[in-house]
A and B are shown apart, each in its own frame.
Chain A
Amino acid sequence: MARLPFDNDIKTLRFLSDEMTQGDLGDKVGVTRQTIAAIEQGKYSPSLEVAFRIARVFGKPLEEVFRWAGD
């Protein structure tokens, strides 16, 4: 499967937020923990709304959570 053309720092940000679990983040964002896991691993490209919600949970701008890594 082709990897997505962007990376993310969700795992690190979760750690820095009192070791927040994927389930906790999923609850805050309104998705399942499996979806958070898929986003973290770069297997699933979230909608813009979910991406913004994730960034809001960490109090960061979107580009500090997701970074373009493709050409």
Chain B
Amino acid sequence: MFDSMLNKYNIVSESLNVECAMSFREKIHWVAFVGLLAGFGWYFLSYPWETANTRMGMMTSVWMLFPATIIFLVPMIAGSAYFAIRTPKEANLREDEREKLIHLKGTHAAYYPLVLGVWANIFAMINGLIYGWSVNILMATLVLAELVRVGAQLYYYRRGY
């Protein structure tokens, strides 16, 4: 009798399929990941690299940051609002211990590209690559570190911790 009860329960569990459902934070991380790729993918592909080592190249970087930020932020805001409206209860939940652990692991993983990027920038400056190169190497470092952070967190969310 107990077995049949458990079997029935398994059917209930499968129909709910709650194990596979993404949490609010995981969905937001996906939006951030895609937003980062879109916004800064456009930036690095569109940047006029032949002017990078001039003052104008540096100013171009600064001005191109505005549309890149908009491309990144608009889906982030829209996605957060959409998922918050769809699952308001989850949106208001505080991070629990597993999510805090995932958060810390992601941040830890992002430290390595950040250090590498700073060293790359120092190396580039010593070799005369300044202005736009400096800005772009630092920006690429930040974007890469963010992609590693968010990507690692997405991996840990799927793995369970």
Contact = CB atoms under 8 A, between A and B. Distances in A.
Contacts, number: 55
Nearest to B9: A15
Contacts of B6: 12, 15
Contact of B98 (A12, A19, A22, A35): A35
Contact of A15 (B5, B18, B90, B98): B5
Interface string B1-42: 000011001001100101101110010000000000000000
B99 A32 contact: yes
Interface residues on chain A, size class: 20 to 34
A21 B97 CA distance: 20
Nearest to B5: A15
Interface string B136-161: 00000000000000000000010111
Nearest to B23: A34
Interface string A3-21: 0000000011001000101
Interface string A29-64: 011111101100101111100100000000000000
B96 interface: yes
Interface residues of B, number: 22
A69 interface: no
B126 interface: no
A31 B98 CA distance: 8
Contacts of A15: 5-6, 9
B159 A1 contact: yes
B133 to A, nearest CB: 41
Nearest to B19: A37
A38 B26 CA distance: 14
A9 B49 CA distance: 60
11 contacts: A1-B159, A19-B12, A21-B16, A22-B18, A23-B18, A31-B98, A34-B22, A38-B161, A41-B19, A43-B160, A45-B161
7 closest pairs, A vs B, by CB?
A43-B160, A31-B96, A38-B160, A44-B161, A15-B9, A37-B19, A35-B98
Interface of B: 5-6, 9, 12-13, 16, 18-19, 21-23, 26, 90, 93, 96-99, 157, 159-161
